[in-house]
Amino acid sequence: MDVDKTKDVDKTKIDKFAQKTQAMDKRIAKLYENVIAMPVIANTVPQALIELGSASQKLHQAIEELYQQNEQLEQTQEILEQEFERYEELFEEAPDGYLVTDPQGCIQAANRTAAKLLNVEKRFLLGKPMISFVALEQRQYFRTFLSQLSQYRKNQELFIGLQQRTGEFFEAALTVAVTYDQQGKAQNIRWLLRDITDSRRGELALNKKDYSFSSDRPVHKYSKREIIPLDPQTLWYVHQGIVKLSTLHETNEEVLVGLAVPGMVFGSYMTSLKTYQATALSDVELVSISVLEIIASPSLSHALLPKINQRLQQTESFLVISGLRKVQDRLDRFLQLLKEETGEKVAQGTRILVRLTHEDFANACCTTRVTITRLLCKLKTQGRISFDANRYIILRNID
- How far from the centroid of its chain's Cα atoms is residue 204's Cα? 18
342 phi-psi bin (left φ>0, alpha ψ -120 to 50, beta other): alpha
Q: Where are the domains of the chain?
A: 2-92, 97-203, 210-323, 324-399
Asked if 210-323 and 324-399 have one fold, the answer is no
User: What does the pLDDT read at residue 102?
Assistant: 93
Contact, 254 vs 359, CB < 8 A? yes
Of the given ranges (152-156, 219-223, 370-374), which has the lowest mean pLDDT?
152-156
Task: Work out the average pLDDT over 172-199.
Answer: 86
User: What does the pLDDT read at residue 71?
Assistant: 77
Task: Work out the average pLDDT over 58-68.
Answer: 73
CATH assignment, 210-323: 2.60.120.10
More reliable by pLDDT, 164 or 42: 164
Task: Work out the average pLDDT over 15-27.
Answer: 68
Its sign, for the CA torsion 77, 78, 82, 88, is positive
User: What does the pLDDT read at residue 248?
Assistant: 82
Is the predicted pLDDT of residue 15 greater than 90, yes or no? no
pLDDT band (50, 70, 90) for residue 378: very high
The CA distance from 89 to 99, in Å, is: 15
Contact, 178 vs 207, CB < 8 A? no
Q: Among 223, 219, 232, which Cα is nearest to 267's?
A: 232
User: What does the pLDDT read at residue 191?
Assistant: 92
Of the given ranges (37-51, 57-71, 111-125, 376-390), which has the lowest mean pLDDT?
37-51
The predicted-structure confidence for 290-321, as pLDDT tens digits, reads as follows 888 888 777 788 888 888 888 888 888 888 88
User: What does the pLDDT read at residue 11?
Assistant: 63
User: What does the pLDDT read at residue 374?
Assistant: 93
Contact, 286 vs 239, CB < 8 A? yes
The percent of the chain in helix, strand and coil, each rounded to the nearest 5, is 50, 25, 25
Is the predicted pLDDT of residue 257 greater than 90, yes or no? no
Class of domain 324-399: mainly alpha
φ, ψ of residue 279 in degrees (nearest 5): -125, 135
Average pLDDT in the chain: 81
CATH architecture entry for 97-203? 2-Layer Sandwich (3.30)
Is the predicted pLDDT of residue 280 greater than 70, yes or no? yes
The CA distance from 84 to 149, in Å, is: 29
